[in-house]
Amino acid sequence: MRPRALTTFAALVGTSVLLTGCAGGGSTAAKAPAADIDAKPDYTGTLSILTKFAGDPLSSYFENIAAEYQKQHPGVKIELIQETDQSIKDKTKTLTASDALPDIYFTWTGNWAENFVRGGRAVDLSKVIGPGTEWGKTFGEGSLSAFKFGDKYYGIPLYNDAKFMGYNKAAFQKAGVKVPTNFEELIASCAPLRKAGYEPIAFGNKDGWPALHYLGQLFAYNVPEATYDADLKPETAKLNDAGYVTALKQFKTLVTDCTNTGSGTNGVLYTSAQEAFASGKAAMYYQEILEFDNATAAKKLSPDNFGIFQLPAPAGAPGNAKALEGAPEGYFINSKSPRVPLAIDFMKFVTNLKNAQTLSAPPYGNPSTVIGAVTPKTSSKAVYEGIQVINSAPKLGIWLDTVTVPDVSDAWLAGGEALISGGKTPEQVLESVRQASDSAK
């Protein structure tokens, strides 16, 4: 799940020398203090970590690992700062503004991560985690490359993530519908599902980013790949392809025809949509693989009745019909930390195969990027199925609100909300994004 109010974040960190010309996509990076990543860790003192694992059931994952690590190294104290998907952005802003980022901190990929690299706030880990290194060989190369900037590797990818449509098999059977093979069939399935007594697709957009998950996937389908890639960067963006308006219209149709809230969905929390699906009231819910095990945790929707499919591409769409919206998520080590070797040692412990398998299994269901961690024995059926799709996808499209610069991300976010409410037409939404992109050049 994604951060909101990125423009505010960019302005804030810009004043603390985190960003250096990032709106124009330049490659200049602030010089980070030299960190001796080859030094032996000093197993004393306090190691601070900012996670995105607050709340049940995720919070216990880092708590258990920290306890075990401290048991092995009694001189070390682990200080966990656990935040949620929605709160971590504000916590990151606060810590950055006060120049108090912890030793290890969570990061998304894309422009969000690049901000920290350009600002000299992330340790270059190429020598220890680059492909071919002992640690690096334990990860899929694609997940490592998601945190590669220039020719250097900065991030520790913890888990893979992507978006799928979860569906209630019993609801589909009752309504007499089959898993759709294209977007048109998806829309057509909504009427019989509603007649059978279900909300066809549960959807809550109060936080803004859920709409962008749909839009990012539909843009990848409706806009030629090279054009879409160029349009994500203000210096090369034109944003004049007809596929954008087509995708915006498709999304509006989905909201109107397939949700119970329609134009009012901007007032519905995404957690309410989760609950509607998990309780059996909704037939479908567009969700991240990280949410799969939560969907069946309450046992009102059994694992046998829970199925997934990729949001289907519109028939004849000119983009990449096999592209999948998603990206790994991971952690940076603060380049100003006096405990870099210890931080590296701890993250090696976090990502060993045993802990990676635990992360990938219920109740956490976060598919680790560590090779061999996700298996039919260690993970739920749906998580294992989803990770096979992720691994075979020819392209992962980074989340629309983290892949591009903050001004453009915010324009898309505001545009999605306006499209849902009826405040703007698809053409007006695209024009507002084009203006934001032009201003960011």
Express each pLDDT in 215-256 by its tens digit.
999 999 999 999 999 999 999 999 999 999 999 999 999 999
pLDDT digits (tens, 9 = 90+) for 386-400: 999 998 888 888 999
6-161+327-373: what CATH class? alpha beta
Whole-number Å distance between alpha carbons of 114 and 154: 10
Beta carbons within 8 Å of 428's beta carbon, 6+ residues apart: 418
pLDDT for the residue numbered 350: 98
Nearest in space to 9 (alpha carbons), one of 102, 117, 104, 95: 95
DSSP state of 380: -
Q: Are 40 and 145 in contact (CB under 8 A)?
A: no
For 270-382, strand residue ranges (E) read: 282-288, 306-309, 324-325, 329-333
Q: Per-residue pLDDT averaged across 281-293, rounded?
A: 95
Residue range 8-59, pLDDT digits in tens: 454 444 444 433 333 333 333 455 555 678 899 999 999 999 999 999 899 9
HSE (CB half, 13 Å, CA atoms) of 181? 1
Which single residue is written with the structure tokens 């302005």?
11
- Return the CATH fold of 163-325+400-439: D-Maltodextrin-Binding Protein; domain 2 (3.40.190)
CATH topology match: 6-161+327-373 vs 163-325+400-439: yes
Are 409 and 440 within 8 A, CB to CB?
no
Find where tokens 């009012």 sit.
264
pLDDT of residue 318: 96
Quick one: pLDDT at residue 32?
53
Q: For residue range 358-374, what is the model confidence (pLDDT) as tens digits?
A: 999 999 999 999 999 99
> Is the pTM value of this prediction over 0.75?
yes
Under 8 Å between Cβ of 50 and 101: yes
Residue recorded with tokens 């969000």: 112
The predicted pLDDT at position 263 comes to 84
Residue 5 has pLDDT above 50, yes or no: no
Mean pLDDT value across the chain: 91
Residue 321 has pLDDT above 90, yes or no: yes
Q: Which long-range contacts (CB under 8 A, 24 or more apart) does 233-237 make?
A: 233/25, 233/404, 234/23, 234/24, 234/25, 234/404, 234/405, 234/408, 234/437, 234/438, 234/440, 234/441, 235/24, 235/25, 235/441, 237/408, 237/434, 237/437, 237/438, 237/441
CA distance 394 to 434: 28
* Residues 433, 422 contacting (CB under 8 angstroms): no
Instruction: Work out the average pLDDT over 411-435.
Output: 97
| CB 408 within 8 Å of CB 3 | no
Domain ranges in the chain are 6-161+327-373, 163-325+400-439
Least confident of 154-158, 195-199, 293-297: 293-297
Helix (H) or strand (E) holding 67: helix 59-72
